Amino acid sequence: MGIDRRVARTRTALYDALVALIRAKDYAAITVEDILAEANVGRSTFYAHFTSKDDLLQRSLERLRDLLVGVQQGSGHGADGSNWDPARALFEHVGEYADVQAALAGGHGGAVLREAVDKVLADVLRQAMGVGPAGGLPRELVIQHMVATFNTTLRWWFEHRPAMTPAEADALFRQLLLRGLPRDAVAPFIAAAD
């Protein structure tokens, strides 16, 4: 059974208010009162849905989960009409909210956001992969590797190549996941078997 429309509208108003405030001021300076005023929602209503602004930030990623699950199930399409896959959709979504990501990057909000994104990604992957080993490797190890590689690519993108498009960041992510690193790149860390 779906969520009540009034509840969905209230949560959307609160999520949107938080994003607007993050775009306007430092996350640490945002108070629940600021969120209430921006969303035009009462205190009791806020606390009926969320325990804190951190909880609101974490749970705002439910929309991201819905996007990824929808895309994974084949219902999502790119702006050019082509089918998206979850990884590409995620890079596109992050690109759309790059300013919010940058605003949260260094502070407590960034840590809350990274943890929530990690959880969403891992949960979506668990659902998509089913149970048992993945390609002969432990399932959880594969999931953690994909999440870590996504985070590494994302962080590198924003810190070193912010002008790069989401499609270009996605291509680098795919190369790291599908082809791995060349032998000469890993030689300083591990001995390559011949």
**How far is Cα 194 from Cα 29, in angstroms, rounded to an integer?**
56
Mean pLDDT of 146-159: 91
Least confident of 7-21, 79-93, 106-120: 79-93
Range of the domain at 38: 1-51
Taking a C-beta distance cutoff of 8 angstroms, is the pair 64, 92 a contact? Answer: no
Mean pLDDT of 88-93: 86
Least confident of 18-27, 87-96, 106-115: 106-115
Judge if 103 and 22 occupy the same domain. no
- Over the stretch 4-51, which tens digit does the pLDDT of each residue have? 888 889 999 999 999 899 888 888 899 999 999 999 999 999 999 999
pTM above 0.85, yes or no: no
Taking a C-beta distance cutoff of 8 angstroms, is the pair 151, 157 a contact? Answer: no
User: What 3-state DSSP class applies to 77?
Assistant: strand
Judge if 69 and 46 occupy the same domain. no
Taking a C-beta distance cutoff of 8 angstroms, is the pair 29, 8 a contact? Answer: no
**How far is Cα 112 from Cα 100, in angstroms, rounded to an integer?**
13
Mean pLDDT of 135-160: 91
Judge if 45 and 133 occupy the same domain. no
- Of 51, 47, 60, 39, the C-alpha closest to 113 is 60
Judge if 145 and 66 occupy the same domain. yes
Query: What per-residue confidence (pLDDT) applies to 146?
Result: 93
Is position 193 within any domain? no
